[in-house]
Chain A
Amino acid sequence: MLVGGIALALFWAPEDANQGFSQKIFYVHVPIALTAYASFGFGAWKALRLLWTGGTHYDLESYTAIHIGVIFGLLTLVTGSIWAKISWGYWWTWGERQLVLFLILFLFYSAYFMLRYSTEPGPRRERNSAVYALFGVVLIPVSFLAVRIAGTILHPTIFTHEGANLPGSMLFAFCVCLAGMLALAATLYRVELAGKRADQSLRELRELLA
């Protein structure tokens, strides 16, 4: 599905008048970014369920979702930076709000991993990680707002790109790409979760044997 979407994007959708071929990265970059948001949101939802119901299996699910989200977030930074280089000639520009937002989120969720690795496994770690994951999902809109209002003062020029007025064929290719990316993330999530669960039960077995 993802391959089909990218093929559609490459060969079928019309080229952007200003940006030409480089605009094609839009079909990869934006779906990755949206998928990262979706993963963070899903992880926070699982974290909320953990605090609400106390079910310990939510911990691993939340962790895995955030893990996938961080991978997609990093990919967003990389593709966004490539796009910025091609369109504006800089690898990094603080004027691009989405990139700045993703940098903040990336730092935040890296700290989430540090928190997990430096706390002893147990109910305390599950709840602390869950609370921190919930903070992350609140941080997204708050930072978005912050970066948005700061954009007008700290950075004089803002690049506004791609409104909602995409031509039909571009929109269709974009939706296919988005669906493909979400499917990819869901598959990765399943695989990773199965791996982590196997890992955990293996460890429990070892402890039983030891």
Chain B
Amino acid sequence: MSRYAADVTALARKDLLLELRSRDTLPAMLLFVVSALAVFHFALPSGSSARAETGLLWIAIVFTALLGLTRAFSAEREQGLLDGLVLAPCDRSAIWLGKTIGVTAFLVLAEIVALPAFALFFHPLSWELVAAVALADLGIAAIGTLLAAIAAASRARELLLPLLFLPLAIPVVIGGVGASVGSNPASFLGFLGLYDAVFAILSWASFEYVVTE
């Protein structure tokens, strides 16, 4: 068990270190989310409700995540690293878990910038919104990592990932928007938690089949 944890930590650390040295993904995500918020300001007619603004924030979050996920396996693919990882004497689901932790870290960092920017541009945040974003991050990272691995095996990688990801992200958006504008946020937060649990277990269990040749 502790071996598994050590493998996961090593893999997640590798991703974070790689990003720290190359700075490929995170600056792009930050710039994208802030530009998207600026675009939304002009897309909304003046006098739009706070509910509409919150809905747009969720679009920004989902698309920023998509931007990060497209890059999730690019280093592995370019260097042919995935084959090496699969051959390494560790459980393959550890690869998924390590990658998911890395992706979650990127998402959280992007939102540490995005949420204050949203509060500055639009309206103050509620704690329900922050909680919903945190829960949504886990689900998006879990499912997105698996789908990114699936898409990496196809010819149309960058094109395919959004198509695979968005239908599965619809429940996240429903839960997130419901928790941030609805009158009963607890049930939506519960739903997001359930979504995370169900899809994390499913991705964890099925990752092995996706990467094995």
Contact = CB atoms under 8 A, between A and B. Distances in A.
Interface of A: 51, 104-105, 107-108, 110-111, 114-115, 118-120, 123-125, 127-128, 130-132, 134-135, 138-139, 142-143, 145-147, 149-150, 152-154
B160 A118 contact: yes
Interface size class of B (residues with CB under 8 A): 35 or more
A179 B178 CA distance: 38
A142 B206 contact: no
A150 B213 CA distance: 41
A142 B199 CA distance: 10
A149 B191 CA distance: 9
Nearest to B173: A146
B178 A51 contact: no
Nearest to B185: A153
Question: Chain B CB within 10 Å — which of A108, A118, A131, A143 has the most?
Answer: A131
Chain A interface secondary structure, helix, strand, loop or mixed?
helix
Interface string B170-213: 11001101100111100110010011001100100010011011
B35 interface: no
Contacts of A105: 167
B155 A118 contact: yes
Given A114-B160, A138-B202, A143 B154 contact: no
A104 B166 CA distance: 9
A147 B212 contact: no
A118 B154 contact: yes
Contacts of B154: 115, 118-119, 128
Contacts of A146: 170-171, 174-175, 191, 195
A142 B171 contact: yes
B36 interface: no
A135 B168 contact: yes
27 contacts: A51-B209, A105-B167, A107-B166, A108-B167, A110-B163, A111-B160, A111-B163, A111-B164, A111-B166, A114-B156, A115-B150, A115-B154, A118-B155, A118-B156, A118-B159, A119-B153, A124-B213, A127-B212, A132-B150, A135-B199, A138-B202, A142-B195, A143-B170, A145-B191, A152-B184, A153-B183, A154-B178
A154 B187 CA distance: 14
Contacts of A104: 167, 170
A131 to B, nearest CB: 5
Contact of B168 (A108, A119, A123): A108
Contacts of B209: 51, 127-128, 130-131
Interface string B111-145: 00000000000000000000000000000000100
Contacts of A131: 146, 150, 206, 209-210
Nearest to B163: A111
A48 to B, nearest CB: 10
B198 A142 contact: yes
Contacts of A154: 174, 177-178
A167 to B, nearest CB: 35
